[in-house]
Amino acid sequence: MHRKASMTGSMKNPLDSLLPHIREMEGYVPGEQLNTRKYIKLNTNENPYPPSPDVLVAIQKQLQRGIEQYPDPLATSFRLMAASQLGVRPESILCGNGSDDILTIVTRAFLGTSESLGIPYPSYTLYETLATLEQANIVFVPFTNEWTVDLRKINDSKRLKLFYLPNPNSPTGTVLRKEELIDLAERLPCPLLVDEAYADFTSESAIDLIEAYPNIMVSRTLSKSYSLAGLRFGYLVATPPLIEQLLKVKDSYNCNALSIAAATAAIADQKWFAQNRQKILTQREKFSDELSQLGFEVLPSSANFVWCSHPAHESQTLYKRLRENHILVRYMRYPHWGEGLRITIGTEEQLEALLVILRRLCRQK
Ligand SMILES: Cc1ncc(COP(=O)(O)O)c(C=O)c1O
> Does any ligand 1 atom lie closer than 6 A to the CB of residue 120?
no
State in Å: Cα 202 to ligand 1 middle: 16
Atom of ligand 1 nearest to the CA of 44: 14
Q: In what order do the strands lie in the sheet with 338-344?
A: 297-298, 305-309, 338-344, 330-334
Would 195 be classed as within a structural domain? yes
Atom of ligand 1 nearest to the CA of 101: 9
Residue range(s) defining the domain that contains residue 58: 54-268
d(Cα 121, Cα 141) in Å, to the nearest integer?
6
Question: 346 and 232, same structural domain?
Answer: no
Pocket test for ligand 1, best of 103, 124, 305 (most atoms within 8 A of CB): 124
Of 239, 268, 297, the one marking the end of a domain is 268
* 94 within 8 A of 106, measured Cβ to Cβ: no
d(Cα 43, Cα 23) in Å, to the nearest integer?
29
Average pLDDT over residues 251-279: 98
Question: 236 and 89, same structural domain?
Answer: yes
- For the cut 70, the answer to whether the pLDDT of residue 318 exceeds it is yes
What's the CATH number where 195 sits? Answer: 3.40.640.10
- For the cut 70, the answer to whether the pLDDT of residue 1 exceeds it is no
Q: How many domains does the chain have?
A: 2
Would 333 be classed as within a structural domain? yes
Of 268, 284, 308, the one marking the end of a domain is 268
User: Which amino acid does the sequence have at 40?
Assistant: I
> Does any ligand 1 atom lie closer than 6 A to the CB of residue 45?
yes
- For the cut 90, the answer to whether the pLDDT of residue 332 exceeds it is yes
What's the CATH number where 275 sits? Answer: 3.90.1150.10
- For the cut 70, the answer to whether the pLDDT of residue 3 exceeds it is no
Question: 351 and 224, same structural domain?
Answer: no
Would 316 be classed as within a structural domain? yes
d(Cα 203, Cα 259) in Å, to the nearest integer?
27
Would 154 be classed as within a structural domain? yes
How far lies 336's CA from each of 112, 167, 235, in Å? 28, 22, 33
Question: 186 and 123, same structural domain?
Answer: yes
Question: 209 and 314, same structural domain?
Answer: no
Question: 264 and 285, same structural domain?
Answer: no
Q: What is the pLDDT of residue 8?
A: 62
Question: 66 and 112, same structural domain?
Answer: yes
